[in-house]
Structure 1
C-alpha cells in the first residue's frame, strides 16, 4: 500500500445529537479535521467524544446539522456508504478465523479478487509488524498483537478516514506506549486522516497533531498538544490536560498585554490574556515551579515522595496546597522545612477568577 491519496478532511457544521426527547449528547459543535492529520477527541466520560466519533462512522445519525467527509455530505448516509474504517476498543476479531482471514474480511466485500485480497492483507500485516503471523488464530496472539491485527484490517481498506475508539484501553502501560507509537508512525507514513478517541491525556498528547477537548456535550478548546498544555483556555482544560495547580492571585496592573500579579506578596509578570486589574487565578504545572528559588512564595514541605525518576512534593502556603515535582532525587527537600517557590518565565497562565471547572 502506498501513501493514502484518499485521505479526506472531515467537517462538522452545527451538529447536534439528541437521544430520546431531551438527552443532548453533542450540542451544536463545529469542527474541521484536516486531511492527513491525527486529531484526538479527548474528555471525561459522558462528554460526547464517542458519540461524535460514531457520527463520523455512521453508527449514530446527527439530529441536526451536517457532516462532510471531503466534499460529500454524509449526514444521512449509512455506515456502509461512508468509506471509513473503525478500530474498536474490543478489537472485534473473529476468533475462529486466522489472522490473515481477519485482515482479509473487509476486502471480500470491496470487489477485490482473491489474489489482490491476499496481497493487500499480507501488505497490511507487514505494515503493522506481523509478517508471518497470517496462519495464527487471534487466541495465539498477545493483546498488543491482536490490536495490530485490528489496525491492519482497517488499513487495508484504504479508507478516507480511519477511526479509533479507545484503542489502547485493554493494554498494559508498557504495551500502550509501544502501540500508540506504532499507530502514530503508520498514520504519518501513510498520510492517513485519523480521528482518535481517548480519555487518557498522556496518550492524546503523544499521538496527536491536534486535540479537541470536549466537556458537557460541547468543545472546550481545540489546539496542538503544546498549545493546550502551555495555554489552556480555562480551568477545566488546565486541570484536564496534565496536572495544574490553580492559585489565587491579584492582577496589580496591565501594560502592553503584560500583567503584573501578586501572590501572597510575591510579584510576577506574564501575558495578561485579556484580563484587567483585579482578582484572578494562576494555572501552574507542577514542573513549572522553581523549588528553593531566591525569590518566591514561602511554602512549607508537607509531603515528599520518591517515585524513581523524580520527587513529588505537597507544599502548603497561606492560600492552600500545591503539588510540585523535581528531578533532583539525590537531595530531597525535608518534610517540615520552609522554602521559597518561584515560577518559570514560561508556563504559568492567567485565568479569570470566576472560571469554573
Structure 2
C-alpha cells in the first residue's frame, strides 16, 4: 500500500476577509493548479496566513467564492474539506509516540486498524523516519519533528496540503534540507500544495509559482524567475531578493525598448509599458561588477564597506548614481575598503519598475 494523491485545484474568486473594520484580505483572486506548489509570500500582516486559513476552512470568507476542484467550499467548515495542514509549531502530541501521532487523524476517521498501521508506516518511510515509530517527539530533533508533522498530514491523502511557515523554527542548515525534502515529496506524489512563508529564498527554492501579497492584496503572481527578473513594482523588486532602487529617466522609446539615462550611464532596457520621463530602476546586487582598473567611461565609485561571508563578499559602494549594494563571488580577489573602483552593469538583473 502506498500513499495516494487526490490532488485538486484551488480557486479564489474575488475573496475578501474582514475582521470588523479591518480588511485582512481584499478582493483576492488566483488559481492553484492541481499538483503544483504555490507559495503565498509577503511581510507580516499582508494577509497570506488568513488566505491559507480560508483554504483550510479555519476562517470563513466575508465575500467571494472558494473552490477546491469543481466544488465550492466557501461556507463549508474545516471538517468537511479534504485539506490537511502542516503547522509552524508542529502541533505534535507530546505523550504519544511518533507512530501514534502519525496515525491519529486516520484513527479518528474510523479506518480499520490494519489500514491505519499500513498508512502510518508508509508515511514515516516517505519522510525518511522508518524505524522511528516508537520514539516520543521529545526524542527527535526539530527537523525530525517537522517531518513527523508532514507525515501526519500526508497519510490523510488530502486533496490539498497546506504549509503554514513550516520551517521558521529550524536553523538555517535544517531549513534548507527540510525544504528540499518537502519539495521532493510534493513532486513525487503530485500533491497540490499551498505554502506560506515570509522568507524570499525559501519561496524561490520550493515554488512552481509565487503569489506576492502586500497590504491584503496580490502585488504580483508568477514563476520565481519572473518575479526576480521582472518585478511589477518597487515593492516586489525590493521584497524578492535584494535590489538597488535608483532614480533614472527614459529619454526615448523605440518599440518595446527604452533608452534610459542612469546618471551619465546610458542603457537600453525593455520599456515594460512605461512612458518617457522619470522612472525607477531596480539593479540586483549580482548584476554589478567592480574593477580596480579604470574601464573606459564606466562610472567610478569608492568602496565604503567590504564584508566577507565565505561564499561571497558584500560591498557598499559610493557612486555618482547613489550608494550601491554589490555581491561578488570573487572571494579570491577582495577589494579593500576605500578603494577606487570602476562600476559595470550586466544585462541580466537590471529592470525598469516605474516611478
Greater mean alpha carbon deviation, residues 321-330 or residues 174-183:
321-330
8 Å Cα contact 2:2/2:122 also seen in 1 = no
The reply on whether 1:265 has 2:264 as its aligned counterpart is yes
8 Å Cα contact 1:4/1:192 also seen in 2 = no
Residue 90 of structure 1, CA deviation: 0.5
TM-score (norm 1): 0.96
* Aligned pairs for 1:191-270 within 5 A: 191-270=190-269
Residue 35 of structure 1, CA deviation: 0.4
Secondary structure of the structure 2 residue equivalent to 1:67: strand
Instruction: Name the CA distance, whole Å, in 2 between partners of 1:69 and 1:108.
Output: 25
Secondary structure of the structure 2 residue equivalent to 1:89: coil
Please name the residue that 2:308 is paired with: 306
How many residues align? The count is 352
Please name the residue that 1:338 is paired with: 340
Residue 334 of structure 1, CA deviation: 2.7
Distance 1:3 1:149, change over 3 A: closer
Secondary structure of the structure 1 residue equivalent to 2:272: coil
Residue 252 of structure 1, CA deviation: 1.3
Please name the residue that 2:22 is paired with: 23
CA RMSD, Structure 1 to Structure 2 (Å): 1.2
Please name the residue that 1:10 is paired with: 10
Residue 154 of structure 1, CA deviation: 0.2
The reply on whether 1:95 has 2:97 as its aligned counterpart is no
The reply on whether 1:317 has 2:349 as its aligned counterpart is no
Instruction: Name the CA distance, whole Å, in 1 between partners of 2:145 and 2:32.
Output: 28
Secondary structure of the structure 1 residue equivalent to 2:226: helix
Residue 97 of structure 1, CA deviation: 0.5
Deviations 1:70-93 (A, max 9, x none): 000100000010000000000000
8 Å Cα contact 1:4/1:191 also seen in 2 = no
8 Å Cα contact 1:2/1:190 also seen in 2 = no
Secondary structure of the structure 2 residue equivalent to 1:105: helix
Residue 124 of structure 1, CA deviation: 0.2
Deviations 1:220-270 (A, max 9, x none): 000111110111000100000000000111111110211111112111111
Instruction: Name the CA distance, whole Å, in 2 between partners of 1:30 and 1:329.
Output: 45
* Aligned pairs for 1:123-134 within 5 A: 123-134=122-133
Secondary structure of the structure 1 residue equivalent to 2:232: coil
8 Å Cα contact 1:12/1:66 also seen in 2 = yes
Please name the residue that 1:289 is paired with: 288
8 Å Cα contact 1:37/1:193 also seen in 2 = yes
Please name the residue that 1:187 is paired with: 186
Secondary structure of the structure 2 residue equivalent to 1:148: helix
Deviations 1:153-212 (A, max 9, x none): 000000000000000011111111000000000000000000000000000000000000
TM-score (norm 2): 0.97
Instruction: Name the CA distance, whole Å, in 2 between partners of 1:168 and 1:224.
Output: 21
- Give unmatched runs, 5+ long, in structure 1: none
Instruction: Name the CA distance, whole Å, in 2 between partners of 1:140 and 1:112.
Output: 28
8 Å Cα contact 1:42/1:212 also seen in 2 = yes
Greater mean alpha carbon deviation, residues 284-293 or residues 81-90:
284-293
8 Å Cα contact 1:295/1:342 also seen in 2 = no
Secondary structure of the structure 1 residue equivalent to 2:34: coil
The reply on whether 1:106 has 2:99 as its aligned counterpart is no
Instruction: Name the CA distance, whole Å, in 1 between partners of 2:190 and 2:296.
Output: 49
Residue 330 of structure 1, CA deviation: 2.0
Instruction: Name the CA distance, whole Å, in 2 between partners of 1:291 and 1:43.
Output: 32
Deviations 1:312-356 (A, max 9, x none): 110112342110011112222232222221211122000211xxx
Please name the residue that 1:347 is paired with: 349
Residue 2 of structure 1, CA deviation: 4.6
Secondary structure of the structure 1 residue equivalent to 2:45: coil
Residue 276 of structure 1, CA deviation: 2.0
Distance 1:148 1:42, change over 3 A: same
* Aligned pairs for 1:59-208 within 5 A: 59-208=58-207
Secondary structure of the structure 2 residue equivalent to 1:171: coil
Instruction: Name the CA distance, whole Å, in 1 between partners of 2:225 and 2:257.
Output: 21
